[in-house]
Structure 1
Amino acid sequence: MDLKLSTLLCLTLLFSTILNPALSELCNPKDKKVLLQIKKAFNNPYVLSSWNPKTDCCDWYSVTCDSTTNRVNSLTLFSGGLSGQIPPQVGDLPYLELLQFHKQPNLTGPIQPSIAKLKSLKLLRLSWTNISGRLCP
């Protein structure tokens, strides 16, 4: 392939990626769907305003994705803005290793039983909330 054709091909790919962000999205579609369900369950709070379905969920506030698999592996929600109970959908993020709710005084109710589905979970932090109960039956 000559240099001009190679350069043209690279520029075409670059511009198509810029003009069509879906081509550059890393977030797993199943994880994105679950995160949007979690946002809805919390009544679309301002603190989750970056959770826009038109953007890559790996770039959203408080969300981290594994650099190899691009699966959501961390959800860390700090400092207010959330109220109600932890949505059961958190259990539908199968690669989650870290789940934190900190300084969320309006987070109430029992510990969500669906958290037990998170087989990869290494750290669960529920601090400065009004969540109560046991994690294990």
Structure 2
Amino acid sequence: MNCLFCVMLRLLLLSSQAVDASEYANNKFKYSFTTNSTPVRGTIDRYKKACAASTNAESVSEANTQFYQQEASKFKRQIRDIQNLNRHILGEALSSLSLKELKNLESRLEKGLSRVRSRKHETLFADIEFMQKRSNEGLSRSVLLLFKNSFNTPSILETWINGTVCCEWDGVTCDIISGHVMDLNLSLLNLQGQSYPNCTIFSLSHLQQLDLSSNYFFGDISSTISHLSKLQSLDLSFNSVRMRLDSYTWNKLIQNATNLAELHLGGVDMSFIENSSMSLLTYLSSSLISLIISQTPN
């Protein structure tokens, strides 16, 4: 019976091959491409081996079932691998996320955008601070050069050269962030000039310490010194006895520079200051630590 079934099956296959000969000829390239590909050829070989090992129709049916189950399992694994790869590259599809997961995703995106905005703002602020610092340094350099050129001996300040960074000049200390001149120490340099002649340095409104002691200045101290409202230490002592400080300048200075802790005016002619004006020192009672003054005859 089995032999008869095999003979009939072979005849049926031969007849189908004869009928489909023209179709095969027309689609030869397609068939050759399909059957020659490694996965398909491997599948056919495994199927042939399974059929050859079977001795009856039931065994062939069982082999078919087992074969298809194995292939289906392989395809499922391949599909899962592709899906996992897509998730790794593109992330989970939004449609598959729950409401809670969507809210978490929204929160993460907002935090990410906030960090980006913050970095942009930090960069913008840094650029603004840098440009402001350069501007402050340029203004301070111009002021200091004008002051230098007013001396009878400008060559003493040899590091004060136009086009260089004034914060690196001798006697000059700047705020590292803003570039403002904070400390100007020019004592004991034998500088010679009329008074505090060129009052441009009094426009350095961020000065906290100014020391011009032990030089050779003379004349009236300008009232613009009162613009230095942030001064904590001022030393104008031991200059020429012809350097004078009048009541108006004294009053303005004491009223504005209320943070003064050190005020040294030894050798400055203060005979023009009225006694009532000296009482203004009470403005400095909470800050003043060191005071040196003297009255010299006119």
Partner residue, 2:219: 109
Give the superposition deviation at 1:124.
0.9
Q: Cα gap change, 1:120/1:92 in structure 2, threshold over 3 Å: closer, same or farther?
A: same
- The TM-score with structure 2 as length reference comes to 0.35
1:52 and 2:161 equivalent?
A: yes
Partner residue, 2:187: 78
Give the superposition deviation at 1:26.
9.1
Q: Deviation per CA, 1:37-61, whole angstroms, max 9, x where unpaired?
A: 1111124522211100121100101
Q: Deviation per CA, 1:78-107, whole angstroms, max 9, x where unpaired?
A: 113311221211111121111111211x21
1:125 and 2:235 equivalent?
A: yes
Quick check: which has more Rg, 1 or 2? 2
Gaps of 5+ in 1: 1-24
Partner residue, 2:140: 31
Q: Which amino acid aligns with 1:28?
A: E
How many residues align? The count is: 112
Partner residue, 2:103: none
Provide the rounded CA distance (Å) in 2 between the counterparts of 1:58 and 1:110: 29
- 2:203 pairs with 78, 82, 92, which one? 92
Give RMSD over aligned pairs.
Answer: 2.0
Provide the rounded CA distance (Å) in 2 between the counterparts of 1:101 and 1:64: 15
Secondary structure in structure 1 of the residue aligned to 2:156: helix
Gaps of 5+ in 2: 1-133, 252-298
Q: Cα gap change, 1:26/1:49 in structure 2, threshold over 3 Å: closer, same or farther?
A: farther
Q: Cα gap change, 1:58/1:27 in structure 2, threshold over 3 Å: closer, same or farther?
A: farther
Provide the rounded CA distance (Å) in 2 between the counterparts of 1:62 and 1:26: 20
Provide the rounded CA distance (Å) in 2 between the counterparts of 1:123 and 1:90: 15
Provide the rounded CA distance (Å) in 2 between the counterparts of 1:26 and 1:77: 24
> Which structure 1 residue ranges, 4+ long, deviate > 2 Å from structure 2?
none
Q: Which amino acid aligns with 2:143?
A: V
Q: Give the share of equivalent positions with the same residue, in percent.
A: 29
Give the superposition deviation at 1:132.
2.4
Provide the rounded CA distance (Å) in 1 between the counterparts of 2:135 and 2:212: 25
Give the superposition deviation at 1:27.
6.2
CA contact (8 A) 2:137 2:165 kept: no
| Larger RCO (alpha carbons 8 Å, 6+ apart) | 1
Q: Where is the helix percentage greater, Structure 1 or Structure 2?
A: 2
